[in-house]
Amino acid sequence: MPHPSRSAQRTARLASAILIALLASCPAEGAAADACSSKTLRANAARRKDYPGDPLASSGVWVEVVRYGSAWKPCGVAADWRPYFHGSWTWTERGWFWVSQEPWGWLTYHYGRWLYDVAQGWVWLPGKIWAPAWVAWRWNDEFVGWAPLEPRGSGYSAFWTFVPAERLAGEQVEAVAIPGPRVPALLLKTRPSRAAAPGAERSSRGGWGGDAGSRLSRR
């Protein structure tokens, strides 16, 4: 039986992403809510006495995720919260840098990866390598989109965010983001960037960045 071509495989993955994107607005319940219950937070506060150096302890809880082990879950966020949405992008020599509004963003958006777990919702998996942002990019002349890179490095996440290209630099994403119902169509109309994290400066050789990033940052 012949193996499907790489193009067919990419098309299948993109189709799956579009399908899942239509369902991505449904927040995880049950265990996700229990993880941030007052009882769990009290237990987490007690553990902080043993681990005073944990910079995330006051803002969330550590949970166990199947296949990945220990992960951090933010508490006090909205049910439809997602990473790389509450903040803005700025262009740097290292590529597009995510400027987060969240107090813990300095760590969780530049090290490690975000994962959407069916049981827990969004959780952060620690990492040791720094990057301007750990996202995959899609773009055309009118729109730019990104999604959190999953631990395996896949860019075919259900949680894509798109903004008008001319409004990418410096503007608060939640104020300019394209409404969710339009995202599946934009996934079909845009192409993936070759840029990879870390080292997004390589994107000047064909991805979303380089000269295009410099031009947008001056608008």
Q: Of 43-52, 74-83, 195-204, which gets the smallest average pLDDT?
A: 195-204
Report residue 177: phi and psi, to 5°.
-65, 140
pLDDT of residue 57: 81
pLDDT of residue 173: 98
Q: Of 108-122, 144-158, 172-186, 205-219, which gets the smallest average pLDDT?
A: 205-219
Evaluate if residue 198 carries a pLDDT over 50.
no
Average pLDDT over residues 206-219: 48
Task: Indicate the DSSP class of residue 150.
Answer: P
pLDDT of residue 58: 81
| Separation CA 120–CA 9 (nearest Å) | 29
Evaluate if residue 19 carries a pLDDT over 60.
no
The Cα-based distances of 79 to 26, 27, 36, 100 in angstroms read 9, 6, 12, 18
Give residue-wise pLDDT tens across range 31-72: 455 567 665 555 555 555 444 457 888 889 999 999 899 999
Share of the chain above pLDDT 90, in %: 54
pLDDT of residue 197: 43
pLDDT of residue 199: 39
pLDDT of residue 193: 86
Q: At CA 143, angle to CA 188 and CA 84, rounded to 5?
A: 95
Please tell me the pTM assigned to this model: 0.74
Owner of token pair 């295009």: 212
pLDDT of residue 7: 57
Give residue-wise pLDDT tens across range 123-173: 999 999 999 999 999 999 999 999 999 887 655 578 999 999 999 999 999
Higher pLDDT, 103 or 2: 103
The per-residue pLDDT of the chain, averaged, comes to 77
pLDDT of residue 86: 97
Owner of token pair 């975000």: 114
